[in-house]
Chains A and B, each alone.
Chain A
Amino acid sequence: MKKEKILDLIKNQVLFFDGGTGSVLQSMGLQPGELPETWNITNPDKIIKLHQDYFLSGANIIKTNTFGANSKKFDGTNYSLEQIISSALNNAKKARSLVEQSNSEFSNDTHLIALDIGPCGKLIEPLGDISFEEAVKLFSETMEIGLLNGADLILIETMNDCYEAKSAIIAAKETIEKLGNDYDVPIFVTTVYDETGRSLTGTNIETMITILESLGVDALGMNCSLGPIQMKNFIKDFSKNTNLPIIVNPNAGLPRTKDGKTIYDILPEQFSEIVSDFIIEGASIIGGCCGTTPEHIKLLVQKTKEKKLLNKNNLSQSFFEKTNTIKICSNTKIVKIGKDEKPVLIGERINPTGKKRFKQALRENDIQYILQEGIKQEENGANVLDVNVGLPEIDETKMMISVIKELQSVTDLPLQIDTSNPKTMEQALRIYNGKALINSVNGKQEVMEQIFPLVKKYGGSVVALTLDENGIPEDCEGRIEIAKKILSTAKKYGIKKEEIIFDPLTMAVSSNDKAGIETLKAVKILSTELNANTILGISNISFGLPQREILTSAFFTMALTNGLTCAIMNPNSLEIMKAYNSFCTLSGKDKNCTDYISFAENIISKQPEILEQNKINNQNSVTIQNSNSLNSDTIEYAIIKGLKEQTVLKTKELLKTKTEIEIINENLIPALDIVGKGFEQKKIYLPQLLLSAEAVKAGFSILKDNLISSGRTEEIKGEIILATVKGDIHDIGKNIVKVLLENYGFKVYDLGKDVEPEEIVSLCLEKNIKLVGLSALMTTTVPAMEETIKLIKEKCLDCKVCVGGAVLTQEYSDMIGADFYAKDALDTVKFAQKIFVK
């Protein structure tokens, strides 16, 4: 059946899915551990019978027996993936034609074959060991065979992780694109939730819908894990948040023990009673998952007819609340943009423009610094982080991907991807976990042609700048014209009007007296006449003028008053945050002034917090050896106690009288040595050592800032590569070593975990590295370590190798040819000092 016809059908009619496959096959004699998909070839009659039974029970859509069919699982078995999938489709088609030739009451019904796609069996990075692109490839292989063999639609089901679901949807879209229009089929996606309404990777229903809808699926819903009773409560969460057809395929309730009691299966009678009512709640494609049988579906179809729920239009209860509010999200956090919401703050600090320190971080691949910038903005109240890492001398795409991946592992704020390079934009949108803000498109034809197809394919809300080939119109009217042009072009690409957020552009008021007024006027017109969301990068208004924050924050308040719904701004500026919090409270968007009060209290408390800490420290007695004599007002004390803020304060104080190098050699390192000795003597333990290391790191970053801002560079004691060897994914230990080495003034190239020997060697050669530290935690990866050492010794003659990790001993280390065995992090530092400090 053609895609359009199916889409028309699901919009206007209730349809029934079939029930369980695996569970029924088990009752037919599938052995434990036997792959169910092999039955497509070894027991085709039984599979055909199963499909037939479902169709004859009234099901409209059957799932092919391909849940786990991917090359990862079938490599090395007796059958090729091609054989497994093509026979699955043949069985389904045979069942359908048998039913359609029969005299059954259902023989003239709609009968669709869904290519069934379950999870790939691996967790995607960063948690698991398969990359996003590998997952896409895995799904694509299965889908291509399925579509070529006549599937009517693709059902991506039992997804526990929205990131994996995204990889499967992209695979589906790309497979269809590859095969051409004849193979264009609808994409259905069902995801899995626990009793609290979260997926196993922590995504709630509203967030999941936001992501799936933006990727352009044709129907969505939930299956597996829960029985009908628990699922009932969640259907409203779907129908409120989407107007796509909703699929619900519950289990028959797994037999399981809970708090010592065993809860039993739900029998067909009860199942049909509950599940048919799902239609009233807004579901329109219903069926079953594990444990359900043709009997369950048969009664479900009967019951639905009895209750006269079959024609959805008769009930036509739309719970979907259509508003102009748009949603963007990460995998676990949703941010709403709209007139009824609090204005959204987008942190602007991850951007090299005009920032010496940031540029240096990009050049040095200092991701840590960039992450800190992100975290600081989150702490100060940003709702979204803008990410711009464009610098002519670096590979922007590579940097963007790595920054997005890293940022998404330390913050759950949604990101705004900010680049003018379409290639970078595409790769970023591809790997981003969630629905991103896209910064930006504008009225130039060429730019729209590059960006809108990406929006369509990967989803996202778009910032649209009101400028075009002729530049930025000076007056408001010209900008509105461009906005209208952008809207009509977006429509041609099938992008919803709501997804476009207009930026009427902030110009410096210092160069044009009318700059503020025209922009504000445009904000007002866009938001009232076009009913659109608006965004401004507010800082530009004060460019070229003294005391910029005063002007910027006043402009911000005015823009908000004119209807601005989001702003790209500096959340670290107290003046701007004051303006924002005041506006929210005064415009009635802060119930009981709660947010204002906590904001105000936070400002007051920041100063005394530091004073208080001093007081407490003064009262405490010092117990670490050698520190008895220490005055608690010194930097050494702060470091030994692991007090980060205190260390920063003291470092700043010392800078008035000492040079950076003096502070490092006379204060930071000796204090760390005391902690190190305490650690060796088992007087203090790892967490404390790390606390101190963090404190020193904080001190170091002050010194580094100072050096850079005065145009000097720091002294580097030596350059070292660290890596966890191939096959090993444990990196906590290696990270500790890194922190300590950096504290002692070494420059560390951290290659991460599961690193190929070749990658290490090539960096070694490129940077002429003299010391490599390798870590392995598992006995199984010691051979990989040996292989790495061999390659290093072969290619980089004068490079030393130091090894460490839980499984290693001096004997092992000697055996695999390492130069040094470090029993702990401090040991590595000592060895490094021996090598470099002569």
Chain B
Amino acid sequence: MEVNKIIHHRFSAEDIKISRKEIFRYLGYSYSQNGDKENHSIINEMIEKSISEIKKIMQPQSLYEIIKIDSTKSELNTGIIKFANTEIKSFDLGKNIKNCDYVIILASTIGSGIDYLIKKYSKIDSSFASILQATGSMFIESYVNELNFLLKEEIKKDGYILHPRFSSGYGDLSLTTQNIFFTLLPCCQKIGLTLMDTFTMAPEKSITAFIGLEKE
């Protein structure tokens, strides 16, 4: 396990697991609901098309770095998180990374191609655009889950376990903490990820997260 080293992770679009169930969930369907079966077949067709179109242009990439947490246990309990000359105040993040020695800061994206597709179809076929939205969300989640799994295996060798991912905007963790990822990681340069003035990211299908590392 290398600490304080920025890792650039690339993944092949082919290797990301596809969950159609998740796409339906994002679309507001519940799988069990007996909706209109016949119309489902139209939707299914559109979902398949969205998957193949996104796969063609997707560029899944991440940057991450394992950083030592400088807070004491009691500081964490009171929601003071210190690492890499940065200090955050958040009870919820503190609770999330309780007992952790390190934190991984992670920034992932599947690239801007999907944003173009959504933009295009929102003007000419808004139903397909809504499906692209859902499929895109499924892909970024699935990619980050996959990466999460790889990280879990990697740090296991050093006797650590991973805590669940925690992102800016969860609980009391302010959206302004997005700045931290963009200060510590060369997101724009390496993976083309940028932070807008509203603290949302462009490209849109992107995730930033803190992941705590606890000694087993």
Contact = CB atoms under 8 A, between A and B. Distances in A.
Interface in B1-56: 2, 4-10, 15, 27-29, 33, 35-39, 42-43, 46
A180 interface: no
Interface of B: 2, 4-10, 15, 27-29, 33, 35-39, 42-43, 46, 57, 59, 65, 67, 84-86, 111-113, 115-116, 118-120, 122-127, 129-131, 133, 150, 153-154, 175, 180, 182-184, 186, 188-192, 194, 196-200, 202-203
Given A118-B189, A127-B202, A202-B113, A33 B123 contact: no
Interface string A716-737: 0000000000011101100110
Nearest to B182: A121
A690 interface: yes
A351 B196 CA distance: 37
Interface of A: 22, 31-34, 118-119, 121-123, 126-129, 158, 160-161, 194-195, 198, 200-202, 224-225, 254-260, 368, 371-372, 375, 406, 409-411, 620-624, 641-642, 678, 682-688, 690-691, 693-694, 727-729, 731-732, 735-736, 739, 778, 780-781
A260 B153 CA distance: 9
A371 B200 CA distance: 29
B204 to A, nearest CB: 8
Given A129-B196, A691-B42, A729-B198, A409 B10 contact: no
A641 B175 CA distance: 42
A781 B198 contact: yes
B35 A683 contact: yes
A129 B198 contact: yes
B27 A642 contact: no
B112 A200 contact: yes
A682 B27 CA distance: 12
A371 B125 CA distance: 12
B202 A123 contact: yes
A375 B126 contact: no
Contact of B199 (A31, A642, A780): A780
A403 to B, nearest CB: 12
B188 A119 contact: yes
Given A33-B184, A194-B10, A686-B27, A257 B130 contact: no
B192 A200 contact: yes
Given A687-B131, A781-B198, A225 B126 contact: no
A798 B151 CA distance: 59
A595 to B, nearest CB: 22
Nearest to A31: B85
A729 B15 CA distance: 31
A409 B130 contact: no
B153 A33 contact: no
A732 B132 CA distance: 11
B2 to A, nearest CB: 8
B154 to A, nearest CB: 7
A623 B36 contact: yes
12 contacts: A32-B84, A33-B84, A33-B184, A34-B85, A119-B188, A121-B194, A123-B194, A128-B202, A158-B189, A257-B7, A683-B36, A727-B198
B10 A258 contact: yes
B116 A202 contact: yes
Contacts of B120: 409-411
Nearest to A406: B123
Given A32-B67, A410-B124, A127 B85 contact: no
6 closest A-B pairs by CB: A690-B127, A200-B192, A129-B196, A128-B202, A32-B84, A123-B202
Contacts of A256: 7-10
A255 B115 CA distance: 29
A122 B196 contact: yes
Nearest to B153: A260
B59 A200 contact: yes
A778 B124 CA distance: 25
A126 B196 CA distance: 12
Contacts of B199: 780
Contacts of A780: 175, 198-199
A684 B33 CA distance: 10
Contacts of A160: 188-189, 192
B97 to A, nearest CB: 18
A686 B8 contact: no
A406 to B, nearest CB: 7
Contacts of A258: 9-10
A727 B197 contact: yes
B207 to A, nearest CB: 16
B95 to A, nearest CB: 22
Nearest to A643: B42
A781 B182 CA distance: 22
Nearest to A692: B127
A322 B186 CA distance: 39
Contacts of A119: 188-189
Given A32-B67, A33-B86, A127-B203, A409 B5 contact: no
A673 to B, nearest CB: 17
B29 A685 contact: yes
A666 B73 CA distance: 70
Nearest to B154: A257
Given A127-B202, A686-B27, A32 B184 contact: yes
**Most A-side CB within 10 Å, residue of B15, B39, B124, B191:** B39
A691 B38 CA distance: 14
Contacts of B189: 118-119, 158, 160, 224
A781 B175 CA distance: 12
B27 A129 contact: no
A260 B42 CA distance: 38
Given A624-B36, A732-B133, A780-B198, 19 more contacts: A33-B84, A33-B85, A33-B183, A119-B188, A122-B194, A122-B196, A128-B202, A158-B189, A201-B192, A224-B189, A254-B8, A255-B2, A257-B150, A620-B38, A623-B36, A641-B38, A685-B28, A694-B127, A780-B199
A452 B82 CA distance: 59
Contacts of A372: 124
A127 B116 contact: yes
Contacts of A126: 119
Contacts of B39: 624, 641-642, 684, 688, 691
A118 B187 CA distance: 13
A735 B126 contact: yes
Given A32-B67, A256-B8, A620-B38, A691 B183 contact: no
B194 to A, nearest CB: 5
A732 B194 contact: no
Contact of B38 (A375, A623, A683): A623
Nearest to B37: A623
A554 to B, nearest CB: 34
B5 A255 contact: yes
Nearest to A198: B59
Contacts of B9: 256-258
Nearest to B24: A685
Contact of B196 (A128, A259, A735): A128
Nearest to A121: B188
A129 B196 CA distance: 6
B211 to A, nearest CB: 15
A729 B195 CA distance: 13
A418 B65 CA distance: 51
Contacts of A128: 194, 196, 202
A127 B122 contact: no
A371 B124 contact: yes
A126 B8 CA distance: 27
Nearest to B111: A200
A36 to B, nearest CB: 10
A623 B36 CA distance: 6
Contacts of A161: 192
A331 to B, nearest CB: 9
Nearest to A625: B36
A219 to B, nearest CB: 21
Contacts of B7: 254-257
Contacts of B175: 780
Contacts of B124: 371-372, 375, 410
